[in-house]
């Protein structure tokens, strides 16, 4: 079973992040990087905010990151999550990728275990609408 119930809507790709989600569907985490200045840009965008180049490539992200920040949700803001509170929402940082960050969940941690700076490992889960999303497990210190 996925970390969040199937009734929780999965991502709905837009014209800007369709490629990102297409790679996720293949269980490949890739970030967009500007081919002119080599800076990562996330969320994906058509123009580099650093140098205004339209050129980019999709590079493989590391399989590990660190928790940059997190919250523990106790109050279900949507009926679909009323049975799984408390649950976590983490922001995972990828230092090797200009500190690109993803909002996700840490699927194997109790609320009291989540810590800023803890190492995490990428895993994949399928949401209720069939989209494959990056989630994380506890890594080794
Ligand atoms: Zn650039």
Rounded average pLDDT over 106-134: 95
Share of the chain above pLDDT 70, in %: 100
Do 119 and 100 belong to one domain? Answer: yes
CA of 92 from ligand 1 middle (Å) equals 23
**Taking a C-beta distance cutoff of 8 angstroms, is the pair 123, 132 a contact?**
no
More confident residue, 32 or 78: 32
Domain boundary (24, 45, 60) is at: 60
Residue 33 and residue 57: Cα distance in Å, rounded? Answer: 5
CATH number at residue 115: 2.40.50
Do 67 and 106 belong to one domain? Answer: yes
Decide if pLDDT at 22 tops 90: yes
**Taking a C-beta distance cutoff of 8 angstroms, is the pair 54, 32 a contact?**
no
Strand, coil or helix: what is 103?
strand
Ion ligand 1 residues within 5 Å by Cβ? 34, 36-37, 48, 50-51, 53
Write down the mean pLDDT value for the chain.
Answer: 95
Number of domains the chain is built from: 2
CA of 4 from ligand 1 middle (Å) equals 36
For 72-111, write each residue's pLDDT tens digit. Answer: 999 998 899 999 999 999 999 999 999 999 999 999 999 9
- Using a 10 angstrom Cβ sphere, with 0-12 exposed, 13-18 middle and 19 or more buried, the burial of residue 11 is middle
- Using a 10 angstrom Cβ sphere, with 0-12 exposed, 13-18 middle and 19 or more buried, the burial of residue 130 is exposed
Do 134 and 106 belong to one domain? Answer: yes
């Amino acid at each position: 079973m996925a970390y969040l119930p199937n009734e929780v809507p999965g991502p709905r790709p837009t014209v800007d992040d369709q490629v990102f989600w297409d790679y996720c569907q293949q269980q490949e985490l890739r970030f967009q990087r500007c081919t002119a200045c080599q800076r990562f840009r996330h969320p994906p965008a058509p123009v580099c905010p650093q140098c205004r180049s339209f050129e980019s490539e999709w590079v493989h992200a590391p399989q590990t990151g660190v928790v940059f920040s997190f919250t523990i949700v106790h109050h279900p803001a949507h009926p679909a999550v009323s049975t799984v509170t408390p649950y976590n929402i983490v922001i995972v940082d990828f230092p090797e990728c200009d500190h690109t960050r993803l909002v996700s969940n840490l699927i194997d941690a109790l609320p009291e275990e989540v810590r800023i700076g803890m190492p995490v490992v990428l895993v994949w889960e399928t949401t209720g609408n069939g989209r494959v999303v990056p989630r994380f497990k506890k890594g080794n210190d």
